[in-house]
Structure 1
Amino acid sequence: MTCHARTRPAAPPNNSSGSSHHLLLSDLVRRPMPRSVRGALVRCVPPHPAQPIHTVWISGLKPEHLHPGSILLSWEPGLGGGMDVTARLRLASAEVLLASWPDLHGDWTTVVHPTLHEVIGLHTALSVATDALHLANHLASR
């Protein structure tokens, strides 16, 4: 898989769905999520909106078990016939609402793509800066 912006490279967390293969978000968006899942963990957001977003279903997983920087999408039928979509971002100490898009119709992956791509890129940059700061502080304390 060639993808420039991605969540932490660690293996997907264990989930009770038994599914560890990647699913293309565009194949899933026209139907409500299965009742057995908590959402779709975003595994890879390519730079171009026309490229597929890779996800994996997550079920029975507590928010604190997700890696910082992980994005979990969930959606359900909206009142206007579309899908109400929510994105949650896992930070080091909490899971926060990243965005919500009410009543999206059709293949809504291009609508959520810019937010997902930017947030993953920002989180990666902040992680690198934090690691560099920790290293600099460690070297300075020697």
Structure 2
Amino acid sequence: MILSDLIHQPMPSSVRGALLRSVPSLPTQPIHTVWMIGAESGLLRPGAILLSWEPSRQGGMDVTAGLGLAATEVLLAKWPGLHGDWTPVVHPTLLEVTGLHAALSVATDALHLANHLAAN
């Protein structure tokens, strides 16, 4: 599903949010998602980003992003009262976090390899 097609309505009650499948480099390109069903409420895999939204008291949508880490989930960002197509507003944060997480994963793997090689 394309996120911009979903955002003008509250999320269905049966889902936990929209799990990002990809975040393109250009904000004009679509952000692909899949619904995360409420029954799949275990921890997000490391690096996964889950968006959720609900109608705001001021109108528009209150949007929240969560990030999966190795042993927990953290609040990544909150955007209150977004109106219209809010995907360009959240895009920069999502793109930066996916890039940062990928870089940290590579650095962690390199450190583990270096420690393994040093132990041998």
Normalised TM-score (structure 1): 0.82
1:68 equivalent in structure 2? 46
Q: Distance in 2 between matches of 1:63 and 1:118?
A: 25
Q: Report the CA distance between 1:67 and its aligned residue.
A: 1.1
Moved over 2 A (4+): none
Q: Report the CA distance between 1:63 and its aligned residue.
A: 3.5
Confirm whether residue 130 of structure 1 aligns to residue 108 of structure 2: yes
Distance change >3 Å, CA 55–CA 39, structure 1 → 2: same
- For structure 1, which runs of at least 5 residues remain unmatched after alignment? 1-22
Percent identical pairs in the alignment equals 71
Confirm whether residue 47 of structure 1 aligns to residue 47 of structure 2: no
1:13 equivalent in structure 2? none
Amino acid at match of 2:40: L
Q: Distance in 2 between matches of 1:24 and 1:137?
A: 42
Deviations 1:9-55 (A, max 9, x none): xxxxxxxxxxxxxx100000111101110000011000000000010
Structure with the largest fraction of helix: 2
2:9 equivalent in structure 1? 31
Confirm whether residue 94 of structure 1 aligns to residue 75 of structure 2: no
What SS does the corresponding residue of 2:66 show, helix, strand or coil? strand
Normalised TM-score (structure 2): 0.97
